[in-house]
Chain A
Amino acid sequence: MHLAISLNIAAAKGQAVLDFGEIKTFVRAAEAAGIDMVVISDSAEGLSSSPFEATTLLASLATVTDKIGLVASASTVAHQPYNLARRFASLDIISHGRAGWHATMAQGPREAANFSRPEGFSDTDFRRSEEYIGIVQGLWQGWDADALLFDKTGGRFHDPEKMHLLDHKGEFFSVRGPLNVARSPQDAPVLVLSGLTEADFDIAARTADVILLESGTAESAKTRFDDLRRRATAAGRDPDAVKVLTNISFAPDDEPAASMDRLETQLRAKSCDGFNIQLPAQHSALDDFADRVLPALRQRGLVREGYRGATLRSHLGLAGGGDQ
């Protein structure tokens, strides 16, 4: 089973924010427990505050952890695709192959207002999102894994045959490439998608490595899971190449045992590949999770005993992780 923890570091105005040391301690605890990845987001719809933006925080966390996957949310409105591809390719090298990009398909009005799009969003935005994701994933493949030669005496730093232009000309973007960051140690950063509507299911099945789905009834979860796997197959992918995680949250007064029963039931019903545990960025929530929930997960054998591989793709059982 795969387990992710989503941590939204945006705190309501007036509430105490987490400092770097607290976030680091928590992520290390999650790493000690064998969690596949933490997904960090940094914005809320209303007024909020946190000292950090997600991608920069991720870079810092990468240097103080060794194994756990690190995923940051970044918006397709806030960045140009070339810049976003560069940032995550770089994070992936900094973390030695543990980085992922979380792209949400749901657009916030706040972003439109602050990123020079006062007119807001339009009906074509899902087409824009798919084009954007295609560019980013294409740029991540611009350098073959063996492109760098480092041949000092021969004067050949890289093999020009193994560097590829993207030459993308689409409806919304035109990007020549290649990226000026080397190939990922895990083939490509992991793409995590969330906030899907029914209309986004095909895009997700074509492009995502991990899909985060809202929890619903056990039956609806099973239906969506099977539906996504069918669409992945129809898109020519191995259905196991897309991992579907169901969002869950634990209220502080939940009995851990009852919560664990809930997870096990869903897994037995094969309604997902695992879970994405959503946590608010509050000291009490982090402490509660580390003290009560993590031990219960371990006791039930729901998290692995240690990591077998070194990359996020390896934790998730995805191709390209370096230990297939």
Chain B
Amino acid sequence: MTAQMKLGAFLWATGHHIAAWRHPKAHVMAGIDIDHYIQLARTAEAAKFDMIFCEDAAGLREANVGIASQTSRSIGFEPISLLSALAVRTSHIGLVSTASTSYNEPYGLSRTFLSLDHLSGGRAGWNLVTSASPIEAANFGSTGLKPHADRYERAREFAEVVTGLWHGKAPGHHGQSFSVRDPLDLPRSPQGAPVMVQAGASDVGRDLAARTADVVFTAAQTFEEAKAFYDDLKERMAAYGREPDDIKIMPGVSPVVAETEAEAREKHEELQELIPDDVGVALLSSYLSISDLWRYPIDGPLPELPESEGMKSRQALVVEQSRRDGLSIRQLARHFAGARGHWRIVGTAAQVADELQARFEGGAADGFNVMPSYFPGELDAFATLVVPELQRRGLFRREYEGRTLRDHLGLRRPA
């Protein structure tokens, strides 16, 4: 049997497209409807996805209330409670939630994820992020946003304490940011330890991932970017005594798929038309970590930008794309609004499968985190059109190999 790719179903509110909620077939009340999520989880499980993936932020996405009110992203479920609810309504699929090291304590967070792991019979994972948003910072005291390097130093210490606790150690830890005396009062994980996921793509982010991650979620537009990231990260692992296979690299992909290419293009265009200009520009501004992008002519080029303390790696990606394709602010805003800087494929099941196969077999990905444009329609489309095509090609499982998330991902069980 040839190697098979891993697939995550990235569930997010009404959909990953910024205007998803306005689509006639999108479930607009997703953020207050638990039954909707139970249905999505079951769709993903029936299609044999490795895991469900949830993002998180401890605050609004958008500071401008006028812009925020034109998107569906200001309200939603807190993901750990959401996944705990899904845990007992599913049987196989992995459940991965994002949580920030900036505004949590390692003892409490490790305990919560271990509980999710027990509730699900060994299917939990934690996506470690550091918080770069000043909106979040304002909900946790007035100290303001910490510099990038400091956030990662705290994250490194946090991850070290959590891993120790999950491995049953009594940490007796007295570090720079945390002090933890006791071992956890929960039994060991059914899968040895919950799966550790990371998404930071900056230099320090990559080092942290190479040292501690089991899965890495990334954003890469082109094959070359994806391949360069993949090779770099796998190479860094050796320094920490780890094998390349110990990390599964899963770039985000935002497919728009239909029976014919024309239908897929039409579906994509329909979504793009629903993006108000002010919303698109605001979203682009937040990725670039600058607040006054609206001052520049919308049909002109992107201005020169200072280096930010926010998401360094993603900013570089956006700027590079704009220069490469000669895009105006409006064009770039629309382009990024759709897939949030992730890779987008518009086409038939065979075309989508071709692209995924090329990156998988070309050594640029171990799998993909699928980011449907709107829910439930686009998850259904991927499950019913693309998954069977991948299975026919022998690129994706027809049945789960085991019961835990580590089983699905083919990850070593920690001693």
Interface residues of A (CB under 8 A from B): 10, 17, 20, 24, 43, 47-53, 55-60, 62-64, 78-80, 82-83, 86-87, 89-91, 93-94, 110, 113-118, 143, 148, 150, 152-153, 155-160, 163, 169, 173-178, 180-182
Contact = CB atoms under 8 A, between A and B. Distances in A.
10 contacts: A10-B185, A56-B81, A56-B115, A57-B115, A60-B87, A60-B88, A82-B103, A176-B135, A181-B75, A182-B31
Interface stretch (B65-73, B213-221, B343-351): B65-73
A135 B301 CA distance: 44
Contacts of B179: 113, 116-118
B77 A20 contact: no
A86 B75 contact: no
Contacts of B78: 86-87, 89-90, 181
A156 B69 contact: yes
A87 B241 CA distance: 38
B60 interface: yes
A48 B118 contact: no
Interface in B1-58: 21-24, 28-29, 31-32, 34, 38, 57-58
Interface in B182-228: 182, 185-187
Contacts of B177: 116
A160 B65 contact: yes
Most chain A CB within a 10 A radius of its CB, from B59, B69, B140: B69
Q: Report, as a range, how many residues of chain B touch the other chain.
A: 35 or more
A83 B34 contact: no
A86 B28 contact: no
B80 A56 contact: yes
Most chain B CB within a 10 A radius of its CB, from A78, A117, A177: A78
Contacts of A43: 185
B124 to A, nearest CB: 10
B324 interface: no
Contact of A87 (B22, B29, B80, B140): B80
B119 A57 contact: yes
Given A51-B115, A114-B180, A62 B85 contact: yes
Would you call the interface of chain A mostly helix, strand, loop, or mixed?
mixed
A170 to B, nearest CB: 11
A50 B89 contact: no
Interface of B: 21-24, 28-29, 31-32, 34, 38, 57-61, 65-66, 68-72, 74-78, 80-82, 84-85, 87-89, 103-105, 107-108, 111-112, 114-116, 118-119, 135, 138-142, 174, 177-182, 185-187, 276
Given A59-B81, A156-B70, A115 B118 contact: no
Contact of B181 (A24, A62, A64, A113): A113
Contacts of B119: 20, 51-52, 56-57, 60
B96 to A, nearest CB: 14
B304 to A, nearest CB: 31
Contact of A94 (B82, B186, B187): B82
Given A64-B88, A91-B81, A93-B34, A159 B69 contact: yes
B376 to A, nearest CB: 16
A47 B69 contact: no
B262 to A, nearest CB: 25
A90 B59 contact: no
Those 9 A-B pairs whose CB atoms lie nearest each other, nearest first: A59-B84, A53-B115, A51-B118, A90-B78, A176-B138, A56-B84, A113-B181, A160-B65, A114-B107
B98 to A, nearest CB: 13
B141 A56 contact: no
A82 B58 contact: yes
A155 B72 CA distance: 10
Given A53-B111, A118-B181, A176-B135, 7 more contacts: A17-B187, A56-B81, A63-B34, A117-B179, A118-B174, A152-B22, A177-B139
Contacts of A50: 185-186
A148 to B, nearest CB: 7
Most chain A CB within a 10 A radius of its CB, from B135, B139, B177, B187: B139
A20 B88 contact: yes
Nearest to B71: A157
Contacts of A110: 182
